[in-house]
Amino acid sequence: MALTLEQARRAGCTCLKALLRFAFMVANNLVAIPSYVLYLIVLQPLRMLDSKSFWYIEGVLFKWLLAMVASWGWWAGYTVVEWGDDVKAVSEDEAMVLVNHQATGDVCTLMMCLQDKGTVVRQMMWLMDHIFKYTNFGIVSLIHGDFFIRQGKTHRDQQLVLLKDHLEKYYRSRNRKWIVLFPEGGFLRKRRETSQAFAKKNNLPFLKHVTLPRLGATQVILKTLVAPQENGTPAGGDAVIKESKSKGLQWVIDTTIAYPKGEPIDIQTWILGYRQPTVTHVHYRIFPVKDVPAEPEALTDWLYQRFIEKEDLLTHFYETGAFPPPKGQTKAISREMTLSNLWLVGIQSLAFLSGGMWYCIFQYLYHCLF
């Protein structure tokens, strides 16, 4: 079927817009990421003298970088509506965030919707697939102290040991508060068939919108970061907790991301902006960590139950376009998450000004030396 003139014009505009957005993203990365690295190199003396102040500054720079990523989607009309518990109420406490995983855009969505949650973004640690280490943002995550985990049975036991060591070494020494992980261990489209086969074999619920989660990383985090009990028996990582006088992990935030018609946004769409403006819906449910069982079998059942609830939430959303109200209530309340365009422009401007400053500095040094 031949394209009409109007359709051809729209297609051309979409392609041109995508190219311009891609060029801006490349330029943004070329100035923002090297500037982040260079600022922290210059601040290494401060790290030795006052590590707390150093990691505070690093956290601010990290939040700004994530805000730049969020701005690419925000300016394309990819917004967020939030449902369920208000996580701002626990933004100053330590929390573990469990998220369903559908596509690469899930991470971008979280980068956006957590921007207005106080100090959360600059004090959070991410658990992500090791492949992200080799992306343009990999160097930033390495410096920030995120953990890259290798998937697969052959790596599982070793990775859990490495995760425990990583948490004990970096989590509280860098004043982290929230830790984000995707317990499904991969994208929905890649794991659904295997998960459904496992569920059938073990007489577990048949899930379509999520997959059965894996226990390992969740268990390690709870054992390592939950504070010692009142009777003095440590739940893990007690030496580090006492040293930093931390209350330990206090909350588990069960986060469910839903896309209209079940069509997730991937990173390519986020960057190029060729999809029409889309509202992504994010549902939160907060659990006190004291209510989460520690014994592996009970914890597995508890974690499975969270994803069974996610299945119900997503089924209701895809049928009605909204999440169901909490138990005992007749209406679900949604909150539109907003970002300040002025603030985003200010951060982007600072990134380009920083890039120009570093360029001038290197030019000056080059002329002095040669």
Q: What are the pLDDT digits (tens) for 210-241?
A: 999 999 999 999 999 997 654 334 344 433 33
| β-bridge mates for residue 291, sequence order | none
DSSP class of 167: I
Q: What are the pLDDT digits (tens) for 72-107?
A: 999 999 999 999 999 999 999 999 999 999 999 999
pLDDT at 222: 95
**Is the predicted pLDDT of residue 244 greater than 70, yes or no?**
no
**Is the predicted pLDDT of residue 362 greater than 60, yes or no?**
yes
Q: Are strands 178-181 and 78-84 parallel, antiparallel or unpaired?
A: unpaired
Sequence-separated (6 or more) residues with CB below 8 Å from residue 82: 113, 281, 282, 283, 284, 334, 335, 336, 337
pLDDT at 134: 84
Mean pLDDT of all residues in 110-118 = 93
Report d(CA 306, CA 156) in Å as an integer.
Answer: 22
Report d(CA 177, CA 94) in Å as an integer.
Answer: 4
Res. 2 pLDDT band, cuts 50 70 90: low
Q: Look at residues 284, 280, 286, 285 and name the one whose alpha carbon lies nearest to residue 258.
A: 280
Sequence-separated (6 or more) residues with CB below 8 Å from residue 306: 98, 213, 254
Query: From the centroid of its chain, how far is CA 189?
Result: 19
Residue pair 294/137 in contact (Cβ under 8 Å)? The answer is: no
DSSP 27-82: HHHHHHHHHHHHHHHHTHHHHHH-HHHHHHHHHHHHHHHHHHHHHHHHTTTEEEEE
pLDDT at 246: 66
Residue pair 182/127 in contact (Cβ under 8 Å)? The answer is: yes
Res. 1 pLDDT band, cuts 50 70 90: low
Mean pLDDT of all residues in 3-24 = 85
pLDDT at 245: 57
Q: What are the pLDDT digits (tens) for 284-336?
A: 999 999 999 989 999 999 999 999 999 999 999 999 999 999 887 888 889 99
Mean pLDDT of all residues in 2-15 = 78
DSSP class of 231: T
Q: What is the pTM of this model?
A: 0.89
| Mean predicted lDDT score pLDDT of the chain | 90
Residue pair 269/21 in contact (Cβ under 8 Å)? The answer is: no
pLDDT at 229: 54
Sequence-separated (6 or more) residues with CB below 8 Å from residue 17: 273, 274
Q: How many CB atoms within 10 Å of residue 14?
A: 15
Q: Which two tokens stand for residue 57?
A: 């500054």
Q: Can you tell me whether residue 283 is helix, strand or coil?
A: strand
Mean pLDDT of all residues in 349-366 = 94
pLDDT at 240: 39
- Give the CA angle between residues 160, 51, 359 to the nearest 5°: 100
List, in sequence order, the alpha helices (H) in 293-340: 296-320
pLDDT at 238: 39
Where do we find the tokens 């953990």?
Answer: 147
Mean pLDDT of all residues in 169-175 = 94
Residue pair 316/324 in contact (Cβ under 8 Å)? The answer is: yes
Mean pLDDT of all residues in 96-121 = 94
Q: Which two tokens stand for residue 154?
A: 């052959």
Mean pLDDT of all residues in 116-138 = 89
Residue pair 262/62 in contact (Cβ under 8 Å)? The answer is: no
Q: Are strands 251-258 and 95-99 parallel, antiparallel or unpaired?
A: parallel
**Is the predicted pLDDT of residue 251 greater than 80, yes or no?**
yes
Q: Can you tell me whether residue 140 is helix, strand or coil?
A: helix
Report d(CA 236, CA 248) in Å as an integer.
Answer: 10
Q: What length does the chain have?
A: 370
Mean pLDDT of all residues in 20-33 = 95
Sequence-separated (6 or more) residues with CB below 8 Å from residue 253: 85, 87, 90, 95, 96, 97, 98, 178, 284, 285, 286, 287
